[in-house]
Chain A
Amino acid sequence: MSETHEALPEQKPWMTFVQKAGAPVVSVIIAIGIGSIIMWISGYDAGAAFAALFKGALGSPKAVGDTLLRATPLMFTGLAVAYGFRAGLFNIGAEGQLFIGGLAAAYLGVRLGGMSPVIALPVVLLAAMAAGAAWAFVPAVLKARIGAHEVITTMMFTYIGKYIVSWLVVGPLKAPGQIPQTEMIGTSAQLPRIQSLFSDATLTAMPLLKLGRAHMGIFVAVFFAVIVWLILKYTTLGYENRAVGYNPWASENAGISVPATIVKSLCISGALAGLAGAVEVMGVHHRIFDQFSSGFGFTGIAVALVAKNHPLGVIPAALLFGAMSAGSGTMQLEADVPQKIVLIIQALVIFLIASESVVQWFIQKRQKEALARAR
């Protein structure tokens, strides 16, 4: 993923921004285009599909709320993958760390549910971070010590983590009743819905605030995006993370411990993924069960790539994929197109950004044409 660009004459700040954001945006557009072609070949009405997708994602305040709801865990997994990428590490196992983070939140949420939210909320969030970090720790040490590929090990830990959760929700942590799930967490450990902050009168006056199931986790996510950005930009920790990602040999020579940085980076990545599980438990399901994540960890990879691993870029990227995820239900319902088309588009985005030179070539061709026209 090189970031070199042919210098164009008279670089203006907005042009560099366009160049930086251009490739991801073009990739998303191409991916949606290919997705439409696949729908068309399969005999679906792509126009109706996108209309329904749009309606389900942004068509009403409730739809916007759904988009925010889905974007919340994606911001965390996107940050998790991006933070690892910045150190040259590919945390493909964010999904597993999300499960273990969610498990910690569900466990402590029940036990701290009676306390004041001022204690319960931060403690549960911190516990989920610790749990996610712990789940990344073994792959991190294996990578740092013997170079075992983190893609394989974090993936294996994802399967192990999911089986642990699936065991606990049918066994030791099962709530009374037929359904395999844990008990509901206490109200003080729950992240309230955004609309619950306003009185009925305010909501009637401003129906735009009726955001349905969207909860306060979105603000926590944005807060963490800013924190991660500050860490990467201004702290030694972040500097070392970036340095190792950029050139591990030079970093070693400059006195940075590469193994220590690898362990820190993957554990921080795991902590962020753990938070994704926590917000799902605290804001949405209020408990944990077998299939409580619909692949947020994997979508986080696409989010990070579209954001070009920039923590603040993760915010719009997560909103984009959150919107697609929120709209896909309406799309299936109203246009009868399988939701999986969204997964295909997501995969194409990842693939296109990996093969950035195609997109880059496409953009440069356009810019050259534009320049030629201007002359």
Chain B
Amino acid sequence: MLGDIITPDLFASALRMATPLALAAIGGTICERSGVVNIALEGIMLTGAFAGAAVTLATGNPWVGVLAAILAGVAIAAIHAFASINLRADQVVSGTGLNILALGLTGFLMERLYGHPGTTDPVTMIRPLFSFPKPLAGFGGEVLRWIEGVFLSHTPIVYAAVIIAIVAQWALYKTRWGLRLRALGEHPKAADTVGISVYRGRWVAVLMSGALAGLAGANLVIEQVGSFTENMTNGRGFIALAANIFGRWTPVGSYLASLLFGFADALQIKLQMFRGQIDIPPQFFLMLPYVLTVIVLAGVIGRAVGPAAVGQPYEKG
């Protein structure tokens, strides 16, 4: 049975499941590095997912849907930026407000546009990038089957997430922009003194996190599920925040941590297929990613230290 569980498909599924988490987690990393906590990732992802579905349904073109998801994410993030940067709001509370807003707004618009709550019609999905002829026989064929299955069977945003992680890592640690951004999260006063605009830098970071979480929503709807369901993000935004912490506030770390959570999710789905053979209620599998998140936060990280000024509003002095 183990052979039935551990298949190329399991790892491919882990990569897929990790993608929305990773995109949101990298967004969270950039945002927190600039000194702003973004609890609203969950709601931004949900809004992105809805915008992606609605626009894809309206235009029939999933790529326009992806664009809409990103823009919707940026729009919600802009509200968070305005509140937490300009109005110096309590960032966690403002983010919670936005999460509930996203839940209400997507549900409201869903009933307005489609006349019913629940799930939308299926949307045109984005297909995997590569397609392959029938696999060869023998050992070589088996190896090829694994490589194709695990690495080459994916849709574009799955690959984009890997590239984004690497580029973001480079940008944060090897460019002047990244150095300045990190300064905002560690010591905004010092950054301000040497002429870096705290407000502008934080605004850019928050908007970027919105774009990434919106893209995560697009991936969920247009590449994975194929339709929008109310509250379909199901805590992924919060798991992404945990992945960001587990990844020690670095983009590549966030990606790798998301892979772990993605694997838990993939395993959970796979194990449910063996419901008849394993005498464990499905709810226990469904719990797995959430339990793992708590365990990871509890033990593995020890005392992870985030950016020093994260969560503190900055007042121009």
A166 closest partner in B (C-beta): B283
Given A159-B235, A338-B108, does the pair A167, B283 have CB atoms closer than 8 Å?
yes
- A146 to B303, Cβ gap below 8 A? yes
Partner of B297, one of A142, A354, A357: A142
A250 CB, nearest partner CB in chain B, Å: 18
Among A187-195, A278-286, A343-351, the stretch in contact with B: A343-351
B179 at the interface (CB under 8 A from A): no
- B100 to A298, Cβ gap below 8 A? yes
Partner of B293, one of A156, A164, A347: A156
Point out the residues of chain A lying under 8 angstroms from B107, CB to CB: 338, 340, 343
Point out the residues of chain B lying under 8 angstroms from A166, CB to CB: 283
- B104 to A340, Cβ gap below 8 A? yes
A58 at the interface (CB under 8 A from B): no
Among B91-99, B180-188, B211-219, the stretch in contact with A: B91-99
Given A42-B112, A156-B290, does the pair A347, B297 have CB atoms closer than 8 Å?
no
A353 at the interface (CB under 8 A from B): yes
Give residues of chain A (166-195) contacting chain B, Cβ–Cβ below 8 Å.
166-167, 170-171
Among B82-90, B118-126, B165-173, B198-206, the stretch in contact with A: B82-90
For the complex, what is the distance from the CA of A153 to the CA of B297, rounded to whole Å?
8
B287 at the interface (CB under 8 A from A): yes
B79 closest partner in A (C-beta): A351
For the complex, what is the distance from the CA of A234 to the CA of B15, rounded to whole Å?
55
Give residues of chain A (69-105) contacting chain B, Cβ–Cβ below 8 Å.
90, 92
Given A163-B287, A167-B281, does the pair A358, B100 have CB atoms closer than 8 Å?
no
Given A1-B90, A340-B107, does the pair A151, B238 have CB atoms closer than 8 Å?
yes
Given A171-B281, A338-B112, A343-B107, does the pair A157, B294 have CB atoms closer than 8 Å?
yes
For the complex, what is the distance from the CA of A148 to the CA of B303, rounded to whole Å?
8
Given A152-B242, A157-B294, A347-B97, does the pair A354, B281 have CB atoms closer than 8 Å?
no
- A90 to B92, Cβ gap below 8 A? yes
Point out the residues of chain A lying under 8 angstroms from B103, CB to CB: 340, 343, 347
B298 at the interface (CB under 8 A from A): yes
Point out the residues of chain B lying under 8 angstroms from A164, CB to CB: 283, 287
23 residue pairs A–B, Cβ–Cβ below 8 Å: A38-B108, A42-B108, A142-B297, A146-B302, A147-B303, A156-B235, A156-B242, A159-B287, A160-B290, A160-B294, A163-B290, A171-B281, A338-B107, A340-B103, A340-B105, A342-B104, A343-B100, A343-B107, A344-B101, A348-B101, A350-B96, A351-B89, A352-B97
Apart from A43-B112, A166-B283: 5 A-B pairs, beta carbons within 8 A: A152-B245, A343-B107, A351-B83, A354-B83, A357-B88
Q: B residues within 8 Å of A by Cβ?
A: 39, 79, 83, 87-90, 92-94, 96-101, 103-105, 107-109, 111-112, 117, 234-235, 238-239, 241-242, 245, 281, 283-284, 286-287, 290-291, 293-294, 297-298, 301-303
